[in-house]
């Protein structure tokens, strides 16, 4: 009984301490500061076990090999700005904490069903978004098929598959069109950037 009361007291103190720490403002959330080693381990370990537990029942389509070419375009549009690709690195990724890792390594570490789960659902409290709203399951499997090829992909092969070796942002990764970015890509013509703002009476665009 004595031990039980002691154990409960320690747990209680731990909880109160954690709440006080949360209110204290001591923790630095700046992305310019790397995670502490303990913090990084805790988040990474939690993420790995969470993904594995949830991806376990997902069945990988048998035609994964035939999806690689279709996945290339989606990959270039949506993943490269953060994660980079063979021969190029993501412009935005370096300033994020945690940093988006190169997907060449991720493809070796994760099974295809796990990559599917990550892309579909995203990862909370990181910059990794969910792509479920913008992509069907079918399209996500195309992307997974492409990611699976990354460990052996040379920059030349990447350029060949995607038609370009450079990262670009054709549609914003978050689903909002950024006309400035889209206009800067000469391959892309967006109907609504060519028309004058005729509908808007206020003169704003
Ligand atoms: C806005 C930036 C951003 C975009 C766009 C993005 N990711 Fe991520 N991604 C991240 C970040 C940040 C992490 C690291 C999360 C972590 O460490 O818990 C991550 C993690 C991952 C991981 C797990 C890697 C590992 O080993 O920890 C995979 C797999 C992944 N992303 C795949 C993709 C794919 C495929 C796409 C394109 C469909 C994509 N991501 C688009 C930011 C992004």
- Give the total number of structural domains in the chain: 1
User: How does pLDDT run across 60-86, given as a tens digit for each residue?
Assistant: 999 999 999 999 999 998 999 899 888
- Name residue, tokens 């889209």: 182
Which is higher by pLDDT, 201 or 102? 102
pTM of the complete model: 0.79
Q: Is residue 180 part of a domain?
A: yes
Q: Is the pLDDT of residue 24 over 90?
A: yes
User: How does pLDDT run across 93-102, given as a tens digit for each residue?
Assistant: 677 888 888 8
User: How does pLDDT run across 134-179, given as a tens digit for each residue?
Assistant: 899 999 999 999 999 999 999 889 988 988 644 444 443 433 334 4
Q: Is residue 2 part of a domain?
A: no
Q: Exposed, middle or buried: residue 65 (CB in 10 Å: 0-12, 13-18, 19+)?
A: exposed
The closest alpha carbon to 169, from 49, 76, 66, belongs to 76
Which is higher by pLDDT, 188 or 204? 204
State the distance from the centre of ligand 1 to the C-alpha of 128, rounded, in angstroms: 5
State the distance from the centre of ligand 1 to the C-alpha of 190, rounded, in angstroms: 27
Q: Is residue 63 part of a domain?
A: yes
The closest alpha carbon to 72, from 58, 86, 82, belongs to 86
Q: Is residue 140 part of a domain?
A: yes
The domain in which residue 175 lies consists of 35-186
Q: For 2-41, give one letter per residue: b (16+ CB within 10 A) or e.
A: eeeeeeeeeeeeeeeeeeeeeeeeeeeeeeeeeeeeeeee
Sign of the Cα torsion 85, 88, 91, 96 reads: positive
State the distance from the centre of ligand 1 to the C-alpha of 94, rounded, in angstroms: 12
**Is residue 169 within 6 Å of ligand 1 at its C-beta?**
no
For ligand 1, atom 41, which residue shows the shortest CA distance?
Answer: 79
pLDDT at 165 (0 to 100)? 46
Residues 6+ apart with CB under 8 A from 125: 43
């Amino acid at each position: 009984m004595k031990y039980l009361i002691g154990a409960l007291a320690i747990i209680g103190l731990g909880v109160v301490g954690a709440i006080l720490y949360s209110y204290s403002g001591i923790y630095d959330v700046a992305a310019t500061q790397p995670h502490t080693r303990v913090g990084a381990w805790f988040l990474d370990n939690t993420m790995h076990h969470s993904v594995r537990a949830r991806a376990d029942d997902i069945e990988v389509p048998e035609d994964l090999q035939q999806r690689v070419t279709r996945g290339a375009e989606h990959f270039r549009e949506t993943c490269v700005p953060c994660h980079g690709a063979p021969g190029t690195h993501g412009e935005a990724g370096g300033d994020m904490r945690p940093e988006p890792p190169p997907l060449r390594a991720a493809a070796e570490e994760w099974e295809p069903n796990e990559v599917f789960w990550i892309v579909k659902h995203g990862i909370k409290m990181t910059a990794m978004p969910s792509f479920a709203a913008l992509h069907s399951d079918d399209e996500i499997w195309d992307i997974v098929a492409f990611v699976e090829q990354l460990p052996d992909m040379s920059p030349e092969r990447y350029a060949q598959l995607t038609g370009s070796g450079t990262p670009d942002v054709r549609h914003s990764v978050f689903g909002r069109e950024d006309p400035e970015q889209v206009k800067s890509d000469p391959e892309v013509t967006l109907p609504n950037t060519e028309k004058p703002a005729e509908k808007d009476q206020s003169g704003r665009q």
